[in-house]
Structure 1
Amino acid sequence: MLKADISPKKPTEFKIMNKITANKKLGQHFLTNQHVAQLMTKNFASDAEGIIEIGPGKGVLTKYLATWQIPFHVIEKDDRMLEPLSEFLNDNQITCADILKVDLTELINTLGWTGKKIWVISNLPYNISVLILLQLVKSDSIKYMTLMFQKEVAEKIFNFTNLKNPMSSLMCICLNYFDLKLLCKVHPGSFSPPPKVESAVISFKRFDHPEVALNEFDSLEQFLRRLFQFKRKQMGGILKKYYPLDVLVDTFKMINKEMTDRAESLVFKELICLYKNLKKIC
């Protein structure tokens, strides 16, 4: 059984392999900004009982996380990174695998962290960031997350730029399960190689009692995807394919909305109310 070592080597013993270049296919952009790294790695340090870092790469976040006296584990797909990581992490603190193929519940149980408050932190690969996020949302063992996204994706999760009609299926899902905060915006020059776009770090703290329970995740996601696949179309026209017309008329009256309204014009509470009422009736 794997056990996390809570006494990792000191950061001074870590030697970054500068010869390792970013792999475009893996969406790698190595964070180099130490201020951002320190900000991210302090986010939930006083609350977490176990830390999982996804895609540590050269270890700019890892070297700070390893200083906390908290059980710590990393998941890294790129086997080129194993040598630098092994200079200050034990072998049983490293899982070399594709995060999308890792059963997080099984890993957490294997680590002996069942029932602990798990914090996931990552400078996510931009090309699969949403897939990873949804995987993390569905794991109720994960209580906290500190995640770096491409700014455009971050705006679909949390409206920190006051966009008009910002609501999306992804935003609604995240608002349902987490208290969200913008931790910081990150300039392209904070990475090597620099991406073409700005980034943003979002802090997630899971609600103990979300509006829609986690066991309804698939049902809620399907409902929202249907609405937002054609977000500029009238909701009545979209939903009549799945619900009787009289049910829709009554449900929209109950939430004081019109069937001619569009999904993007609704706020979180209205979308959740629509989902709950339709589920209750049908």
Structure 2
Amino acid sequence: MSLPRADKKLGQHFLRDAKIIETITSDHQDGDHAILEVGPGPAILTPFLAKRGRPFAVIEMDARFEELLRPITDNIHIGDALDVNMDEFLQEKFPGQEVLLVSNLPYNVSVPLLTKFIATPAITRMTLMFQKEVADKVFSEGKNSMGSLQALTCAYFEVKPLCKVPPGAFMPPPKVDSSVISLKRRAEPLVAFDLMKAYEKFLRLFFSQKRKQLGSVLKSSYEISAVESALVPIGHDRTIRAEALKLSDVIHLFNFLESKK
């Protein structure tokens, strides 16, 4: 059958570059993970992932693609991944197994999906494609590049860029560049997993005005004396800006201020 037309409302762009397809589907070859593909669309990556011979399932929002996916796997969930209780879903599909999640994330929901995946302990590895602008917020080594999304992701995952993807690699081509990122869950998280919700809330405040002096940003929620005390061990004062701090500094400040509540 011919491919259904890409749905702009769902942010669909179908990958067609063979080299990039190989790069994505060859990531995380070590280990015996089950594999979950989110948003397989017209089964571009799907046959290569299924060939690994690991337990395999897909979540696809667009029911038009079920006919294309069915010859590859019967393990298909039609629905929005954001609405799926991921812990229960993975326990049902892959009981007791670690999971590699692969997805060409829809640009309009990539951040809430990433946050959902981070909060799912069974997902221990991921290969994810983002709009380049979002990918740079997930991981960047540039000066003053630290932000809430990077501080959250890197507290729980080791992250590395895998490849850049130009618009011409898709049909239809998007108006922006994309990037693929490889993630591996840390054996020991840098922030306790049961504190993740509190850490997310802290990061939203911390980076809400990341070019403003940190003392001014945090004084609405914390005693300024506690903020100043927290900054001393990392060699800064209240005039430092959030974007200038390293991940270890951000985590230190969270742990210190959380302990003073």
Q: 2:55 aligns with which of 56, 61, 71?
A: 71
Contact 1:48–1:144 (CA<8 Å) still a contact in 2?
no
Deviation at 1:44, TM superposition (A): 1.4
Structure 1 unmatched runs, 5+: 1-16
Q: Please, what is the CA RMSD of the aligned residues?
A: 1.1
Which residue number corresponds to residue 125 of structure 1? 106
**Which one of 76, 79, 83 corresponds to residue 101 of structure 1?**
83
Structure 2 match to 1:21: 5
2:177 is the alignment partner of 1:198: yes
8 Å CA contact 1:167–1:267 kept in 2: the answer is: yes
Q: Do the aligned partners of 2:3 and 2:42 also contact (CA within 8 Å) in 1?
A: no
- List gaps (5 residues or longer) in structure 2: none
2:44 corresponds to 1:60: yes
1:250 is aligned to 229
Aligned partner of 1:50 in structure 2 is 34
Match of 1:229, SS?
coil
Give the letter for the 1:205 counterpart. K
State how many pairs are aligned.
261
Question: 1:114, 1:141 within 8 Å by CA — same for their partners in 2?
Answer: no
By how many angstroms is 1:19 displaced?
Answer: 3.8
1:82 matches 2:66: yes
- The one-letter amino acid paired with 1:103 is N
Q: Secondary structure at the match of 2:117?
A: helix
TM norm structure 1: 0.90
What are the within-5 Å matches in structure 2 for residues 3-42 of structure 1? 17-42=1-26
Question: Residues of 1 paired with 2:233 and 2:3: CA distance?
Answer: 62
Of 208-217 and 251-260, more deviation after overlay is shown by 251-260
Greater than 6 Å deviation, 4+ residue runs: none
The residue matched to 2:159 in structure 1 has which SS? strand
2:29 and 2:142 map into 1 onto residues whose CA distance is 31
Does the residue aligned with 1:75 lie in a helix, a strand or coil? strand
Secondary structure at the counterpart of residue 131 of structure 1: helix
TM-score in terms of structure 2 length? 0.97
Give the AA of the match of 2:200.
E
Deviation, 1:245, is 2.3
1:152 CA displacement: 0.5
Work out the CA distance in 2 between the residues paired with 1:114 and 1:147.
Answer: 23
Counterpart AA for 1:132: L
* AA of the residue aligned to 1:29: H
